[in-house]
Structure 1
Amino acid sequence: MLDISWSAWKWNPSSLLAMTALVGLLAGYYCVWSRSRFVRLIDALPGPKTLPLLGNILDLLKYSTDRRLCVDWIKQNGYIFRTWIGYFPVVHVSHHELLEPILSNQNNITKTDEYKFSLPENCLGVLTGDEWRHRRRLLTPAFHYKILDGFMDSINEKSFASTAKMEEILGTAGSQEINIFPIMVKLTFDVLCETFMGKNAWNEEDTNTSYAENVEGMEHIFMERAVRKPWLRIDWIYKLTPLYRKQKQYSSSFNTFHDKVIRERREFHRRNAEKYAAISQPVLNNNADDEEVNFLQPKERLAFLDLLLKISKENPELDDKAIGDEISLFMPAGVDPTSSTITWFLYLVAKHPEHQKSVTQELDLIFGDSDRPVTAHDLTRLKYLECCIKETLRLYPSLPVVARYLTEEVQVGDYTLPKGLTVLINIFMTHRNPEVYPDPDAFKPERFLPENCIGLHPYAYIPFSAGPRNCIGQKFAMLEIKISLANILRRLRFAHSDMSGPVESTTMQLTLKPKDNQCKLIVSKKIV
């Protein structure tokens, strides 16, 4: 019988020899690794002081949800620096000129494995290299502007419904403090359900709530694994924790929801095969001109999912599993960032009534007292509204940080970043660079007037990332944000109970949300 007691290990010479050899082997490996070109290139960068084996883990644990640490590190080390999470190096970059060689690189388009922490288990949505390029080519035609214009009716309808919801809460009261964030989450969820999946979920309160809660739960898991408890990066350790069991629950819920939607949509197409038989071929042409994609009728309410199902007939690799993975990406990416942006916009104009007045005067000039929907022509005239949206996205970018895994070496300023390195692109701090944006923490929409944007570096403003792997849905997001805000501000006005108080706190997760999902504003009806 094998004796594994401590005394056996302590006095057994062969065991002691084996243990000594193992320790020596690990020490030797660490010695060689720490002197490798990879480590030397990383340690050539400035960075905060590290502890042996731990690196900067203790700092990250202390400030894991607070941007102040990053601000302090930038002040101390500059716009490019390195940190160590144990033996795992990360380089932080937050200057537009330093970002360009990374984001514009056609080969360094691989996202890091950490993104999988925020996705359902076994989801293959984070693709690399040629896989991603191929999938992007398949999906790009579904975001043609003619197709996006076909979704305007849905966005108008849902944004009017969310406005009516706030009016219902107000009742006969002249004004009332309302937590607007959950209303904006519901708005964007309903828009995505109808435009992406062809499913009207406005009355499905349970579905809305549970899906949003599951998304929030997955974001919590991401922060726990990626930042707060880095030892959970190791799969076998993570799978022993309650978090893993939670992830399996979320994954099961997501998969059930996605499978149901795909199954129902396939059945919808089966019943309407003749009506939709003619729409698949134009979508498959990546070079489709305006005439070729002019198959959408305004009231048909075709969804992105319809287009994916049609594309899948010619591309068997886009099976139901792959389509479900795309839904797993698009739904959270379309709900959280967009609802947060609309919320932050309303918060900022509530705190700055002079800008709210300029926006509402513009809306009055275009719409008067009418309740007609926003049209594509209207959008071209809403210049100041667009400036305010852009300034909101500068101060509160949907994704404050994005990451890239370098598949090849790249020269960034005076430093060489080696292959195999994770780079964190800090959009939040890039947008607050005083060299580009004087008084960077102030809300100044006039920064984005055409005459003030002349000479702006293309990587100084990147709310949807930039380069070949920018956000495929950014045009849709801007369309939804612009129409929704136009319709809301045509009927409601917003104020803050503490106009001179500090700026609202954020929750630093994958997206910048209001702290505790609370953004309380004083809402009142427009005085006619």
Structure 2
Amino acid sequence: MDYLKKSSSISVSTIFKLSLILLCLLLVVVYFWKKRWLYYYSSILPGPFSLPFLGTVRVAFAGQKNIFPLFENLVKTCPLVWRVWIGNQLYVVTSRPNDIDKLLNNFLSKENILLYDFNEENLSSLFTSRVSVWKIHRKMINPSFNQQIINSFTGIFVKYANVLNEGFEQNCGKGSVDVLTMVWRCTLDTLFETLANVDPKLLRKGNDKFVCMILRYERLLTERFFNVIYHFTFFWKLSVLHKEVTQIVNDMFDHIKQLIDLHMKTKFSSIDSSSVIDAEVCNNNDNLKEKAFLNHLLTKELTAKEVLEETTFMFMAGSETTALTISSVLLVLSIYPEIQETIYEEQCSIFADIDKDATLDDINQMNYLERVIKETMRFLPPAPYLARDIEETTELNSHVYPAGSAALIPVWYVHKYPEFWPNPLKFDPDRFLPEEIEKRPRAAYLPFSYGYRNCIGLKYGMMSMKAILSTILRRFKIKPGKYKSIEEIEVEFHFVGKSKDGYKVAVEKRGN
């Protein structure tokens, strides 16, 4: 009798285990069946070896520090269109400008792209939001970045550039210094006053703490991206890193809430005309005031959370990308003194008094400086990769981009492809003369993204960079620090692309 009970017990246990195994197998079969077309199209595209769930083996075990060199090698050795699996997500990598043009104009979604999706979990914004939300918010925010409003910020750009120069003067003759922190403080302070009409000195914790939060947040998100286990929300939420990300986001929100509170106290004050050098742009001050970013956002039918998220990300992304580009220009000019002198000659031709603050008219004449900025972004784009969901299977030039995959665009490689950029490793600002631009496909240059979902702040960014660099370069010479050639600059991926060893240059004051 005992034997029969034991036998019955074993039988039930065995049946349960077998049922569990069969259920797991069924779920796996269903999972792969749903993705069968992805696996089919993946099989006919070239690319490195991949395993189910884990993805491309070399990528899965590369780690954050090694991922950019690994991808750099893959992009250079693979055809112009190839595929890579990151976890269970298929990416079709393309470097063909004509394909890029069609993909970025036809597909706007970023919902299923892991790194964007991870950011969206914490901080929804124009950058990552669903297309339906993006269209509404983009339409709302667009008026805040029209050219007339940006022109009115000239004096504020110059004001904080002069503050930045004080920091540069303190470092004259002290050897190489990493300028990124100083420049980032400048670009963030500028954003606070231009887009929110708030003096950054009024913030209790200061913007240096905010910059540290941004850096740590980016590092944690990229760490999650390159750890396949953390792709699963269940395991991610159990991790210590998730708790840290949550705390950082809350701290960033607190900082921006403080900004919004300060803004509300001065909501009905006009733009400070003493900060705006060109009087003609102040003729319609009331209209400009109402359309300024935060004022404008607060008048729209947005929830408090939506305003907070859009404002937080605007200050994060806008300050960092501008600071990275300015720092990159200074790094490049330290390597190419002849180009630096050509900029100085242009400045001398514009300014009768080289120490005079720049006006809007002055900035609009800085054509060579603008070409140098553009050529720097060709070499060192702040966003080295772009990605979009492929929502329906698309065939372009005999290559299929399957629905359910994502298009991954290696911007840095497109910017150096010899067919569109002759002698691509030569730093040549004249590539951006109008007649040279006409020779290239439109999507061969992508520093501000491309298509309908491009960077909303591209005009703001260019104007501020020209004003700040002009103010620096008329007073200082930039000398080599860490790097002696542009080929030595190694890039690391931390949500954006950054010089691995920083932005170290030496600063020397120009003689009168």
Q: Does 182-191 or 433-442 show the bigger shift?
A: 433-442
Q: 2:426 — aligned with what? A: 442
Distance of 1:202 and 1:512 partners within structure 2: 29
**312, 315, 318: which one aligns with 1:331:** 315
- The residue type paired with residue 323 of structure 2 is S
The alpha carbon displacement at 1:304 in A equals 1.6
Go from structure 1 to structure 2 and tell me whether the alpha carbon gap of 1:166 and 1:9 turns closer, same or farther (over 3 Å shift). Answer: farther
> Retained in 2: the 8 A contact 1:402–1:424?
yes
Go from structure 1 to structure 2 and tell me whether the alpha carbon gap of 1:515 and 1:86 turns closer, same or farther (over 3 Å shift). Answer: closer
Gaps of 5+ in 2: 1-8, 272-279
Cα-to-partner distance string for 1:410-442 (whole Å, 9 max, x where unaligned): 223212222222222211111111111122233
Residues 244-393 of structure 1 correspond to what in structure 2 (within 5 A)? 244-269=242-267, 272=268, 295-296=284-285, 303-309=292-298, 311-312=299-300, 316=301, 318-393=302-377
Q: 1:55 — aligned with what? A: 55
The alpha carbon displacement at 1:60 in A equals 4.1
**219, 233, 236: which one aligns with 2:234:** 236
Q: 2:407 — aligned with what? A: 423
Q: 1:223 — aligned with what? A: 222
> Retained in 1: the 8 A contact 2:482–2:505?
no
Query: Over aligned residues, Cα RMSD in angstroms?
Result: 2.8
The alpha carbon displacement at 1:520 in A equals 1.7
| 2:489 aligned with 1:504 | yes
The alpha carbon displacement at 1:124 in A equals 5.5
Q: 1:214 — aligned with what? A: 213
Q: What secondary structure does 2:177 align onto? A: strand
Distance of 2:328 and 2:123 partners within structure 1: 33
Q: Does 448-457 or 387-396 show the bigger shift?
A: 448-457
Distance of 2:444 and 2:10 partners within structure 1: 60
> Retained in 2: the 8 A contact 1:432–1:440?
yes
> Retained in 2: the 8 A contact 1:63–1:69?
no
Q: What secondary structure does 1:262 align onto? A: helix
- The residue type paired with residue 208 of structure 2 is T
The alpha carbon displacement at 1:390 in A equals 0.5
Distance of 1:180 and 1:74 partners within structure 2: 31
Go from structure 1 to structure 2 and tell me whether the alpha carbon gap of 1:304 and 1:424 turns closer, same or farther (over 3 Å shift). Answer: same
Distance of 1:422 and 1:499 partners within structure 2: 36
The alpha carbon displacement at 1:24 in A equals 3.4
Cα-to-partner distance string for 1:109-141 (whole Å, 9 max, x where unaligned): 445353242367364653222321121111111
| 2:399 aligned with 1:399 | no
Distance of 1:446 and 1:292 partners within structure 2: 31
TM-score normalised by L of structure 1: 0.86
- The residue type paired with residue 220 of structure 2 is I
The alpha carbon displacement at 1:484 in A equals 0.6
Q: 1:412 — aligned with what? A: 396
Q: 1:281 — aligned with what? A: none
- The residue type paired with residue 91 of structure 1 is V
The alpha carbon displacement at 1:497 in A equals 4.1
Cα-to-partner distance string for 1:207-255 (whole Å, 9 max, x where unaligned): 21210111111111221122x2022121111111111111111111112
Go from structure 1 to structure 2 and tell me whether the alpha carbon gap of 1:61 and 1:437 turns closer, same or farther (over 3 Å shift). Answer: same
Q: 2:4 — aligned with what? A: none
Distance of 2:23 and 2:16 partners within structure 1: 10
Q: Does 436-445 or 340-349 show the bigger shift?
A: 436-445
> Retained in 2: the 8 A contact 1:119–1:328?
no
The alpha carbon displacement at 1:512 in A equals 1.9
Distance of 2:185 and 2:254 partners within structure 1: 20
Residues 80-229 of structure 1 correspond to what in structure 2 (within 5 A)? 80-105=81-106, 107-111=107-111, 112=113, 114-118=115-119, 121=122, 123=124, 126-170=128-172, 173=173, 176-202=175-201, 206-226=205-225, 228-229=226-227
Residues 12-23 of structure 1 correspond to what in structure 2 (within 5 A)? 12-23=13-24
Q: Does 430-439 or 417-426 show the bigger shift?
A: 417-426
Q: Does 153-162 or 410-419 show the bigger shift?
A: 410-419
The alpha carbon displacement at 1:296 in A equals 2.2
> Retained in 2: the 8 A contact 1:43–1:82?
no
Go from structure 1 to structure 2 and tell me whether the alpha carbon gap of 1:119 and 1:485 turns closer, same or farther (over 3 Å shift). Answer: farther
Go from structure 1 to structure 2 and tell me whether the alpha carbon gap of 1:178 and 1:186 turns closer, same or farther (over 3 Å shift). Answer: same
Q: What secondary structure does 1:12 align onto? A: helix
- The residue type paired with residue 256 of structure 1 is D
Distance of 1:450 and 1:305 partners within structure 2: 35
> Retained in 1: the 8 A contact 2:334–2:479?
yes
Distance of 1:498 and 1:113 partners within structure 2: 34
Distance of 1:514 and 1:119 partners within structure 2: 26
Between the two proteins, the alignment pairs up a number of residues equal to 492
- The residue type paired with residue 262 of structure 2 is E
Distance of 2:370 and 2:449 partners within structure 1: 18
Gaps of 5+ in 1: 1-7, 277-290
The alpha carbon displacement at 1:29 in A equals 2.7
> Retained in 1: the 8 A contact 2:175–2:481?
no
Distance of 2:216 and 2:456 partners within structure 1: 25
Cα-to-partner distance string for 1:286-307 (whole Å, 9 max, x where unaligned): xxxxx99962279979842122
The alpha carbon displacement at 1:19 in A equals 2.7
- The residue type paired with residue 382 of structure 2 is S
Q: 2:277 — aligned with what? A: none
Distance of 1:85 and 1:471 partners within structure 2: 26
The alpha carbon displacement at 1:77 in A equals 2.4
Q: What secondary structure does 1:425 align onto? A: strand
- The residue type paired with residue 90 of structure 1 is Y
- The residue type paired with residue 515 of structure 1 is K
Q: What secondary structure does 2:171 align onto? A: helix
Q: 2:473 — aligned with what? A: 489
> Retained in 2: the 8 A contact 1:54–1:86?
yes
Distance of 2:125 and 2:443 partners within structure 1: 29
Go from structure 1 to structure 2 and tell me whether the alpha carbon gap of 1:448 and 1:60 turns closer, same or farther (over 3 Å shift). Answer: farther
The alpha carbon displacement at 1:73 in A equals 1.8
